[in-house]
Structure 1
Amino acid sequence: MVKGSPTSPILNRIIVSQHEEGISFAQIVQLAVANPFIILREITNQLGLGISVKKTLRNAGLYGYRAAKKPLISEKNEKARLDFDKEYASWNITKWGTVIWSDETKIELRGNPHHTYVRRPASERYNPRYISPTLPHGGGSIMVWGCFSRNRPGPITRIKKDNMTGGIYKNILNHTLAFVGQGGKSLQIPKTVFGQTQQLSQDFAQDPTDGILGLAFTSLAVDGVIPPVILAIQQGLLDAPLFTVFLEHEGTAQGVKGGVFTYGAVDTTNCGAVIAYQKLSSATYWQFKMDAITTAKGAGSNQAVDVISDTGTSLLGGPQAVTDSLAQALGGTYDQSQGLYQIDCAAKVADTILTIGGNKYTIKSANMIDNFGQNYCALNIFPFDFGGAGPSWILGDPFIRSYCNIYDIGNQRIGFAASKQTV
C-alpha cells in the first residue's frame, strides 16, 4: 500500500463526521476533483457535513464570521456625518432623485492578491490545472470612478494614480458634466470647467439651490470660462444652437417639478408656436429692447429701454418710478421692510402688458401675485436700479411662465412662444 501525505486534523474530523452522517469519502473526493479550488467550507456546506461542536454552536444560533472592517472615523468626521443626516433626514424621494452618487474602487487585474488554495494530488503541484497564474508585482490593479443618479448610471472613468485626490476629483467632474433629463436621457458635455465659491453671500444662506448654472454668454464668465451650453454647441452636441425654457406656476413650493429646459430644440410640447424673435442688443446677458411696459389701465412707461430675460430672478424688476406707477394701478402698496408691493391675497389685478418688437405680451393676474407665506401676498414686481449702466429691467419668472423663452445662441436673438400651461 502506497503511503500518501497525512490528512490534516480538520479533514480527519470531517472524514469521521461523514461516517456518522452516512456520506461516503468518495463524495468528498469527487467534489474536490471536480473543482480543485473549492474550499473546505464549501465542501461542508454542499454535503451537509459537520462536527458535534459546530452543530451545537449553530443550533444555538452562533455562526462563524469574519469581523466587519470599517474606516476609523474621527470625532470631527463623526459630527459632520451626524449634521448631514439631520439636515437631510426630511428629504423625500423627489429631492434625493436630484442627487448624483459617486465612488471609486480599486480592481485587481489578476483577481485576489492574497493566497489562493487548491486541492490536488500530492505529486501534481505544477500541473497547469492546479496553478494560479501570476505576473510580476502581482499583475497590477486599476482604480476607476463611477457615478449614477435615480434615472441612470453615469460614465466610468479610469484614475491613473493609486489614490483619489481633490484635484483628480475636480478634473473628473470637468470632463463628465451631464444634464440628466426626462426618461433617463442625458446631455454629457466634456471639458466643462467648474467654479467653486470661497465665500457664500448671505443672500444664498437659505436658498434651496446648490449652485448656479450660467446660461448667458462667455463675455460674462469669470476668467473667460466657456459656459456649458455654449461648450456643447462648439462640440456639436446639440441639434440646434439654442435652448428653450418653460416654467410651471407652482408658487414657492419645493420638491416639485418647476418646468422644463430643452437643449438644442424649441419645446413644442409645453410651448405654442413662436410669436416672434427679438435681436439682442448686447450678447452679454440675454439683453434686448422693450418698447413699453404698461397695464390694461394705462399706467407704467412707454419709454424704450434695454431689458434682460433671467431665469434666476423670481420677479419683474425695474426703476422704482415705473414700478410704483404699475403697483398703484394694480392695487399694491409698497412695503419698505420687504421691498415688495403688498396686496390682498384674494385680489384679481389687471393685465400687465409688455411691448417687444411691436408685439404685445400679456401677463395675467395669476402670474402677477404670489403668496410668500403666512398669508403675505405681493405683486411680482420690485424696484431695482442698475446704477445707470446696463439694462433697466429684469424680466424674470412671471414673464417666462407666461411665455416660453427661446434662447438662440447661434443667431444672438431671443424668441417668445405662449406657454400651454393654464393657470
Structure 2
Amino acid sequence: MKGVVVHDTVRIGDLVSTDQPFGLCLKDSGFKGIPFDGILGLSYPNKTFSGAFPIFDKLKNEGAISEPDSPLSSLYRDKQEGSVVMFGGVDHRYYKGELNWVPLIQVGDWFVHMDRITMKRKVIACSDGCKALVDTGTSDIVGPSTLVNNIWKLIRARPLGPQYFVSCSAVNTLPSIIFTINGINYRLPARAYIHKDSRGRCYTAFKEHRFTSPMETWLLGDVFLRRYFSVFDRGNDRIGLARAV
C-alpha cells in the first residue's frame, strides 16, 4: 500500500473536525470489490500508523464532543439493516440488559483478557486465559492456526480454496461457541459464525493468524460485534459489551 498524509475537513453527522489529518491511499492491493471508501481509525493516539491525530481526539480537543470522559464510541452492527456508530455517548435502544464492563489489559490497545473458549461445555481454546482484541477492523474471528484448525475439525469444516465450508443443512445442528470474558459468557450460535457465499455455499468465519505472540491471542471482529453491542470507553480505558437487539 502506498499513500500520503493530507488535511481536510471531516463531517460525521453534526460533528465537524477541521484540518483533520488522514492517509490518502494512492496504490493498494487486496481491497478490490470491497464496498467502502476507506478506514476510519479509532485507535489511541500513540498507535496511529501514519502519526496522524485520530479523529476522536481531534473532535474532543475542538470541543465538538464536550462531555467529560466520554466513551470514544458505541458500535452497533447489523448485517441486514446496516450499522451505527455513536461518538461521545451510548444509545440504550441498541442493546438488552446491562453493559458488562471489561478493563483493558494495558492502556493504548483495545485488548482485554479472555477466560476461555468453549463448545458443549468443553474448553476448545484459550484454556489458560488469553488476549482478545475487540477489533472493528476485522471481519471474522481470528486465532492461532492450531486452535482454529481444531475448531474446523469439531464442526467438520472442509477446505475449498482459502475458505473452510460446512454443509448448509448442518448449520441448525452445529453447537454454539462461547467466549467467556471477565466471567461473562458471550454465545455465538452457528448462524452467527457460518456465512453463505454468493453460490449458496456455507463457510466458517473462523480464520487463522500467523503472527507470533508470547500469549495466545484472538481477534473478535464483526462476527462477534454484530451480536454484541460494544462501547469503547477511552475515559476509563475499558470496553462495554451487551447483547445487541
Give TM-score, length-normalised by structure 2: 0.87
Q: Going by fraction, where is helix more abundant, 1 or 2?
A: 1
- 1:288 is matched with which residue: 87, 100, 112? 112
CA distance in 2, matches of 1:305, 1:390: 6
- Structure-2 residue corresponding to 1:384: 209
Aligned-pair distance for 1:415? 0.8
CA distance in 2, matches of 1:236, 1:274: 29
Q: Does 1:409 align with 2:234?
A: yes
Q: Does 1:200 align with 2:25?
A: no
* Cα deviation code 1:144-194 (max 9, x no counterpart): xxxxxxxxxxxxxxxxxxxxxxxxxx65x2xx21113xxxxx211223112
Aligned-pair distance for 1:365? 2.0
Contact 1:294–1:352 at 8 Å: present in 2 too?
A: yes
Aligned-pair distance for 1:220? 1.6
Distance 1:260 1:292, change over 3 A: same
What are the equivalent positions in structure 2 for 1:243-254 lying under 5 Å apart?
Answer: 243-250=73-80
AA partner of residue 207 (structure 1): I
Q: Does 1:345 align with 2:168?
A: yes
SS in 2 for 1:195: strand
CA distance in 1, matches of 2:27, 2:196: 31
- Structure-2 residue corresponding to 1:218: 45
Aligned-pair distance for 1:379? 1.4
SS in 2 for 1:318: strand
- Structure-2 residue corresponding to 1:264: 88
AA partner of residue 219 (structure 2): I
Q: Does 1:322 align with 2:147?
A: yes
- 1:365 is matched with which residue: 187, 190, 198? 190
What are the equivalent positions in structure 2 for 1:67-82 lying under 5 Å apart?
Answer: none
Aligned-pair distance for 1:366? 1.7
Aligned residues: 234
Distance 1:399 1:332, change over 3 A: same
* Cα deviation code 1:287-332 (max 9, x no counterpart): 1111111212525122211111111211100012211222222232
- Structure-2 residue corresponding to 1:375: 200
- 1:233 is matched with which residue: 60, 63, 67? 60
AA partner of residue 258 (structure 1): G
What are the equivalent positions in structure 2 for 1:13-412 lying under 5 Å apart?
Answer: 171=7, 173=8, 176-180=9-13, 186-201=14-29, 203-238=30-65, 239=67, 240-250=70-80, 257-296=81-120, 298-301=122-125, 302-333=127-158, 335=159, 337-338=161-162, 340-346=163-169, 347-348=171-172, 349-388=174-213, 392-412=217-237
Higher relative contact order (CA 8 A, sep 6+): 2
Aligned-pair distance for 1:387? 2.1
Contact 1:369–1:378 at 8 Å: present in 2 too?
A: yes
* Cα deviation code 1:269-301 (max 9, x no counterpart): 111233311111133441111111121252512
Distance 1:204 1:391, change over 3 A: farther
AA partner of residue 118 (structure 2): T
Distance 1:391 1:322, change over 3 A: closer
CA distance in 2, matches of 1:336, 1:227: 39
Aligned-pair distance for 1:384? 1.2
Percent identity (aligned): 26
Gaps of 5+ in 1: 1-169, 181-185, 251-256
SS in 2 for 1:190: strand
Q: Does 1:419 align with 2:244?
A: yes
SS in 2 for 1:367: helix
SS in 2 for 1:211: coil
Aligned-pair distance for 1:351? 0.8
CA distance in 2, matches of 1:222, 1:315: 22
CA radius of gyration, larger in? 1
AA partner of residue 247 (structure 1): R
Distance 1:242 1:236, change over 3 A: same
Contact 2:114–2:131 at 8 Å: present in 1 too?
A: yes
CA distance in 2, matches of 1:315, 1:211: 19
Distance 1:285 1:199, change over 3 A: farther
- C-alpha RMSD over aligned residues: 2.0
Contact 1:294–1:326 at 8 Å: present in 2 too?
A: no
Aligned-pair distance for 1:390? 7.5
